[in-house]
Amino acid sequence: MLNQLTISELTKKLAQREVSARETMQSCLDQIAKVDGKIHAFISHDAADALQQADAADKELTAGVKKPLLGVPIAIKDVIAVKDQPLNCGSKILGKFISPYNATVIEKLKDAGAIIFGRLNMDEFAMGSSTENSAFGVTRNPWDTTRIPGGSSGGSAAAVSADECIASLGTDTGGSIRQPAALCGCVGMKPTYGRVSRYGLVAFASSLDQVGPFTKDVRDSALMLSAISGHDVKDSTSIPHPVPNYAAALNGNVKGLKLGLAKEYMVGGLDPQVSAALQAAVKQYEKLGAEIVEISLPHTEYAVATYYIVATAEASANLARFDGIRYCDRVPGNDPIELYSKTRGHGFGPEVKRRIILGTYVLSSGYYDAYYLRAQKVRTLIRRDFLNAFEKVDAILTPTSPTAAFKIGEKTGDPLQMYLSDIFTISCNLAGICGISFQGGFTENPKLPIGLQLLGKPFGEETMLKLAHAYEQSTAWHKEKPTI
């Protein structure tokens, strides 16, 4: 089954012409035809275009062209612009919008030879932790289709986990890559802020958003990161830091590396099975020669509140452009204000409206100092917590999510409960550091994936990947497949 291969396995076979890109693409399309009715990871996909790209890749492969991702089918979250493809952000407000341009990450993946296909489901405008807030229907967890896949990049996680593609791109504003990766049992990474260009990523919260990969193992994550990283003249917040060959760092040698355990993360509400998986990982890391150090991140308790002020404030402005004037599904009105209200009232879902209202409120005259300004100050303190901790340790180990995947509909009535499921992932975005979620075992009855998270220093992806890879290779969790 070619669709089950990792990037490193597949590229080897493709280069040796053991298999063709077309066969690989076709096996992904077959898998979509077979399982996506149950999973609904994809909003849409253009099979003809994908096969055409596969044929072009085969031509290059035959000609001996060497590109790191030549012929690898990669599916894309519906918030990243791909030229001539629909761009809906999981929302109905954009209507029949077709992107007139490519995001920089798409250009980079194309340069690396990848086949770019499909629009992956997501929470509307990346706002949510379950992919239940999509205008295109719920995505289901491949391990248990009565459960959510996590979010907001639920489609990206489910598609990789269900082998509907070889890898995918998602975006992470407060955990939207790492949490669904954990819940679907794959690897998801949020790079350091500024590592990957945001040009062409439809902004939710500009100072927190990063694009990152979903893959079947850690090595693939490293390969994807090398392909999409780097300074972009079109993104003033991307940083001109050299791009290493991340896969070269994966030598399994973690002897002497220091792993931090934050005492503030030993919280109530942590599922005992998740806690047990973390303890097992600690033992495993010690066995591998890493040193475990207790650290403190004293401002952790303010992270969720800070996040929901900063993120919603930025979102309230970022989403203002969806007004029915130049694009979007316009609902006419007698004057511009009525047109805006009707268009936006009709086009946005309840969670998006909730966050726009919250963000508008925290920026309002008279409230700005108490909310937005205060949140920015706390954000600085949270970043400082991490920088202090990284003086003592090379990375921080945490669970990715307090629980395994919950049932569809279980938390939709209680947004605050939903927000709290992001406590381990949110600080990483506020601090602008990198994080990765990888397979840490399974719960029993039902069998659901448990994710572990490593948080790394700013631009410390190499060490973080090396640690994740060493653990992964010393266990067999990542080899298990869901039965759909």
Partner 1 sequence: MEYEAIIGLETHVQLKTKSKIWCGCANEFGAPPNTNVCPVCLGMPGVLPVANEEALRLTILTGLLLNSTIPRYAKFDRKNYFYPDMPKNYQVTQFDKPSTVGGFVEFEFNGGTSRINLTRAHLEEDVGKNFHFDRNSGVDFNRAGVPLLEIISEPEITSSDMAYEYLNALKDILIYGGVSDCDMEKGMVRCDVNVSIRPKGQKELGKKIEIKNMNSFSGVRNALNYEIPRQIEVLTKGGQHHQETRRWDDVGGITETMRSKEMAHDYRYFPEPDLMPFEPTDAWLAEIKTRVVELPLAKKQRFIKDYQLPPADAQAFVWDVPLGSYFESVAKKSKNPKAVANWVINNLRAKLAENGGSLADLKFKPEHLVELIELVDGKKISSAAAQQVFAEMFTSGEAPALIVEKKGLAQVSDTGAIEKFCDEVIAANPKPSADFKAGNAGALNFLKGQVMKLSKGKANPGVVGEILEKKLKS
**Annotated catalytic residue: which of 20, 27, 77, 168?**
77
Q: How far apart are CA 423 and CA 407, in angstroms?
A: 19
Binding site for partner 1 (CB under 8 A): 79-81, 87, 89, 94, 97, 99-101, 103, 198-203, 205-207, 233-237, 313-314, 316-317, 320-323, 325-327, 336-337, 340, 360, 363-365, 368, 372
Nearer to partner 1 by C-beta: 167 or 319? 319
222-245 CB burial, b ≥16 within 10 A, e <16: bbbbbbbbbebeebeebbeeeeee
Q: Considering the complex, state which of residue 144 and residue 323 has its C-beta at the smaller distance from partner 1.
A: 323
Q: How far is the CB of 348 from partner 1 (least distance, A)?
A: 14
* Residue with Cβ nearer partner 1 (330 or 478): 330
All residues at 6 or more sequence positions from 441 whose CB lies less than 8 Å from its CB, including other chains: 277, 280, 449, 450, 475, 477
Q: CB of residue 322 vs partner 1: minimum separation in angstroms?
A: 8
How many C-beta atoms lie closer than 10 Å to residue 37's C-beta?
Answer: 8
Asked whether the bond before 129 is cis by omega within 30 degrees of 0, the reply is no
CB of 318 to partner 1, least distance (A): 8
Q: Is 77 a catalytic site residue?
A: yes
Cβ distance to partner 1 smaller for residue 53 or 343 = 343
**Any catalytic annotation for residue 176?**
yes
Other beta carbons less than 10 A from residue 417's beta carbon: 13
- Alpha-carbon span 56 to 229, nearest angstrom: 24
CB of 347 to partner 1, least distance (A): 13
Cα 103 to Cα 116: distance, rounded to the nearest angstrom: 12
What is the rounded distance in angstroms from the CA atom of residue 433 to the CA atom of residue 459? 7
In the bound state with partner 1, the residue whose beta carbon lies nearer, of 74 and 94, is 94
Q: Which candidate in 27, 91, 99, 152 is catalytic? A: 152
- Distance, in Å, from the CA atom of 256 to the CA atom of 289, rounded to the nearest integer, reads 6
The residue annotated as part of the active site, out of 176, 221, 226, 427, is 176
460/473 Cα distance (integer angstroms)? 20
Sheet-wide strand order for 449-456: 42-44, 115-120, 73-77, 167-172, 210-215, 187-190, 434-442, 449-456, 395-399, 258-262, 291-295
Amino acid at 207: S
Tell me the helices (H) and strands (E) count for the chain, helix number first: 15, 11
State which residue, 284 or 360, has the beta carbon closest to partner 1: 360
Q: Closer to partner 1 by CB, 29 or 313: give it.
A: 313
Minimum gap (Å) between residue 437 Cβ and partner 1: 25
* Strand-pair category, 395-399 with 42-44: unpaired
Cβ atoms of 92 and 137 closer than 8 Å: no
* Shortest Å distance, C-beta 244 to partner 1: 24
Question: For 455, which DSSP code?
Answer: E
CB of 231 to partner 1, least distance (A): 12
Mind telling me the catalytic residues?
77, 152, 176
